[in-house]
Each structure stands twice: as structure tokens, then as C-alpha cells.
């Protein structure tokens, strides 16, 4: 996952959401998935999140290992960028906005599921939800007849609509630490806790970790007995601690006053 994040973040850092439930795996593992993924989505609202099509990786989890997956991912990502540039150059108009990030925002891997990307966790989840909707559209169309996607020119005019571009430019600027993933160790209290809160305010995706403090055991309690002696009540032993050593002196006799 970190390696793949680095590959799709060549221009801008992305945050990923992994989905590997039964519904998405049934689609990704199907024989029709490569064909349908290549056709792309058909809903105009999806293009800004999912791009015109996802990246489907032709990898067999039953006969190929992780090294083969990494090799195929690298080659597939390079080809996806070339295909996206070709799509842009073939469909652009004289007043079209500049080409956006050519990296995929949806990656489909047989046996593993779907990885959706966005500028933050919220956007990556929305991207995943949009492609889930696209899968349902494909499933319904294929159940009746055959799924047909929008023509590329029509899809391009929606993706690079000038009014949409104007809206994107008017969005608030990203915070200083946006798109950064930062791990804070010792964030349970004190400086670590305040650091984690500050990082989140500055836009970072913060992962906080801490450990339970081990406080010193209280001294033995003394309880008076009927004979005027006081017995020491040992503190309960920790389940992981070694058993206490056996001692013959389990109590002591207090001196009596004259």
C-alpha cells in the first residue's frame, strides 16, 4: 500500500481507501471485470472523482506472487498515464482547461478488491462510493442486455466542463499539512496529545498511538486482627507477572503497650 500510494502520488499526494467486501470482490474477480472496467463509468457526476475509467490490474492471485503484482502495477500505471494523455489530446477543445493529474483514482486488483484515492480520507471514501454506484449500473445493464458507456468526447466535455473548472478554482486552499500522513507516538497525553490535535487542525491525516502507563504498586495495606496483630495484604499480582516468592513471614506482630 505505501509503495502504491507513492506511485499514484507522482504529482500530488493521495490518501487511499481500501474496499474488499463481498460485493466489490464479486465484481473485481469476475470474468467481465476487465471488459467493463475498460469501458469506464457512465454517470457524469462520477468523472471528477473516478476519472473516465479505473485501472484494472491483470493479476492472478492464485498463480502469481506479490513481486509479480508490483511489476504489473508499475507497468499498468505507466500505460494508464499514457492512455489518459492520449484521451485528453484527442478530445480537448481550444478553451479546455489544462490536463489534470493523469494518475488513476480507482485501482481494481483481483483477489484484493478496490483502492480509491482522494486528497483526504473523506474524498477517497466518496470516490469509492461513486465507483460502487458505477458497478451497480453495470450489473443492472448487463442483466438486461449489455452495458454501454458514454462516448469519450461526451465524457471529456463533462469532465473538463468550464463551469466545473471555475468551481474547482474557487475552492479554499488546502491547509499546510494536507495530504500528509503523520504518526504520533505517545499521543495519549501531554505534548504528544497536543501535537496530534495540532496536526489534524493543519490538515494532516494523523495516526496517534500510546501505551498504558504502568503505575507503581501501592504499599501493602495493614489491617488489624482480633489478636492485636496487623497482617499485610499483598497487592494483586499482574496476570503476566512472575508468581510471588513463598515466604514464611506472612504477618508481623505489633508491640503491645504496657
Q: Please give the pLDDT value at position 131.
A: 94
With beta carbons less than 8 A apart as the criterion, state whether 184 and 195 touch: yes
Largest CA distance in the chain: 110
Going 107 to 108 to 110 to 113, the CA torsion angle's sign is positive
Q: Please give the pLDDT value at position 58.
A: 95
Query: Yes or no: is domain 2-169 CATH 3.60.150.10?
Result: no
* CA–CA dist 116, 5 (Å, integer): 11
Q: Please give the pLDDT value at position 232.
A: 44
Per residue in 57-98, pLDDT (tens digit) is: 999 999 999 999 999 999 999 999 999 999 999 999 999 999
Domain with CATH 3.40.225.10 in the chain: 2-169
Q: How many CA atoms lie within 13 A of 31 on its CB side?
A: 0
Per residue in 3-18, pLDDT (tens digit) is: 898 888 888 888 889 9
Q: Please give the pLDDT value at position 129.
A: 93
With beta carbons less than 8 A apart as the criterion, state whether 117 and 8 touch: yes
Q: What is the DSSP letter of 45?
A: G
Q: What is the mean pLDDT of residues 114-134?
A: 91
Record the pTM. 0.71
Pairwise pLDDT comparison (200 vs 54), residue with the higher score: 54
Residue 229 has pLDDT above 60, yes or no: no
Question: Would you put residue 81 in left (φ > 0), alpha (ψ -120 to 50) or beta?
Answer: alpha
Amino acid at each position: 500500500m505505501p509503495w502504491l500510494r507513492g506511485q499514484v502520488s507522482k504529482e500530488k499526494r493521495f490518501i487511499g481507501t481500501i474496499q474488499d467486501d463481498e460485493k466489490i470482490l464479486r465484481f473485481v474477480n469476475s470474468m467481465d471485470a476487465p471488459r467493463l472496467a475498460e469501458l469506464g463509468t457512465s454517470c457524469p457526476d462520477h468523472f471528477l472523482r473516478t476519472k473516465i475509467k479505473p485501472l484494472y490490474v491483470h493479476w492472478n492471485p492464485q498463480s502469481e506472487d506479490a513481486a509479480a503484482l508490483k511489476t504489473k502495477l508499475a507497468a499498468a500505471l505507466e500505460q494508464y498515464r499514457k492512455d489518459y494523455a492520449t484521451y485528453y489530446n484527442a478530445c480537448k477543445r481550444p478553451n479546455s482547461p489544462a490536463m489534470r493529474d493523469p494518475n488513476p483514482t480507482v485501482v481494481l486488483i483481483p483477489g484484493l478488491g478496490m483502492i480509491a484515492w482522494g486528497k483526504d480520507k473523506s474524498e477517497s471514501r466518496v470516490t469509492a462510493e461513486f465507483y460502487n454506484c458505477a458497478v451497480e449500473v453495470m450489473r443492472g445493464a448487463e442483466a438486461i442486455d449489455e452495458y454501454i458507456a458514454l462516448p469519450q468526447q461526451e465524457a471529456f466535455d463533462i469532465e473538463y466542463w468550464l463551469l466545473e473548472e471555475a468551481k474547482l478554482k474557487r475552492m479554499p486552499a488546502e491547509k499546510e499539512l494536507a495530504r500528509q500522513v503523520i504518526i504520533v507516538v505517545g499521543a495519549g497525553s501531554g505534548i504528544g496529545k497536543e501535537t496530534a490535535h495540532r496536526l489534524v487542525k493543519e490538515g494532516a491525516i494523523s495516526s496517534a498511538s500510546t501505551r498504558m502507563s504502568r503505575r507503581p504498586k501501592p504499599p501493602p495495606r495493614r489491617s488489624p486482627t482480633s489478636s492485636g496483630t496487623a497482617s499485610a495484604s499483598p497487592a494483586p499480582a499482574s496476570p503476566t507477572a512472575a508468581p510471588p516468592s513463598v515466604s514464611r513471614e506472612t504477618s508481623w506482630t505489633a508491640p503491645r503497650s504496657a
